[in-house]
Structure 1
Amino acid sequence: MRLLHSILPALALAASGVSAASSWSFADATVTRVSKTEGDVKQPLAATAPLKNALSLGAKDSIKIVLTAKDSGKAKRPHQAFLVLRETADTTGLDAHFPLTLKENGKGVVEIAQKDLPVQHSVSSGPLSARIVIGSFGAAQALETDGLFEITVNHGDDRAAAQSHTPALRYGKREQIIHQFRAPVQTPPKIISIFFALAVFATFPAVLVAWAALGGNVGDAAKSFSSAPVSHAVFFGALVAMEGALFLYHVQWTLFQFLPVAGFISVVAFVSGSKALGEIQGRRLAGQR
Structure 2
Amino acid sequence: MRFLHSFVTPLLLAAGAAQAASSWSFDDATVQVNGKKAAGTKEKFSETKQLSQPITISNTESIKILLVAKDGGKGKRPHQAFVVLQDELSGLEAPFPMTVKENGKAVVDIKYTDLPVQLATSSAPLKASVVLASFGSSQGLNKPVFSIAPKVDPNAAPLVYEKPLRYGKREAIHHTFRDDPKNPPKIISAFFVLAVLATVPALLVGWLSLGANVSHIQRALRDAPIAHGVFFGSLIALEGVFYLYYVSWTLFQVLPVISVVGAATFLSGTKALGEVQRRDSPGRGDYDSSQRKMCCGNKNGVDED
State the TM-score, normalizing by the size of structure 2: 0.48
Shift of 1:41: 2.4
Aligned in 2, Cα 1:156/1:17: closer, same or farther, shift over 3 Å?
same
- Cross-structure match for 1:151: 148
* Identity fraction in percent: 44
Q: Distance in 2 between the 1:61 and 1:17 partners?
A: 44
Q: Are 1:115 and 2:79 an aligned pair?
A: no
| 1:1-289 map, 5 Å | 11-20=12-21, 22-36=22-36, 40-90=40-90, 93-145=91-143, 147-158=144-155, 161-162=158-159, 165=161
Does the 8 Å contact 1:69/1:75 carry over to 2?
A: yes
Residue 17 of structure 2 aligns to a residue whose secondary structure is helix
Shift of 1:18: 3.0
What is the aligned-residue RMSD (CA, Å)?
Answer: 2.9
Shift of 1:161: 2.3
Does the 8 Å contact 1:89/1:127 carry over to 2?
A: no
Unmatched runs of 5 consecutive residues or more in structure 1: 172-289
Aligned in 2, Cα 1:79/1:44: closer, same or farther, shift over 3 Å?
same
Q: Distance in 2 between the 1:115 and 1:85 partners?
A: 14
Q: Paired residues, what number?
A: 166
**AA at the equivalent of 2:55:** L
Residue 161 of structure 1 aligns to a residue whose secondary structure is coil
**AA at the equivalent of 2:112:** Q
State the TM-score, normalizing by the size of structure 1: 0.51
Q: Distance in 2 between the 1:54 and 1:69 partners?
A: 23
Q: Distance in 2 between the 1:59 and 1:11 partners?
A: 56
**AA at the equivalent of 1:55:** I
Q: Distance in 2 between the 1:170 and 1:87 partners?
A: 24
Aligned in 2, Cα 1:59/1:137: closer, same or farther, shift over 3 Å?
same
After superposition, what is the alpha-carbon deviation per residue over 1:138-163, rounded to whole angstroms, capped at 9, x for unaligned? 22211111x2100011012158823x
**AA at the equivalent of 1:27:** D
**AA at the equivalent of 1:79:** H
Q: Distance in 2 between the 1:73 and 1:39 partners?
A: 31
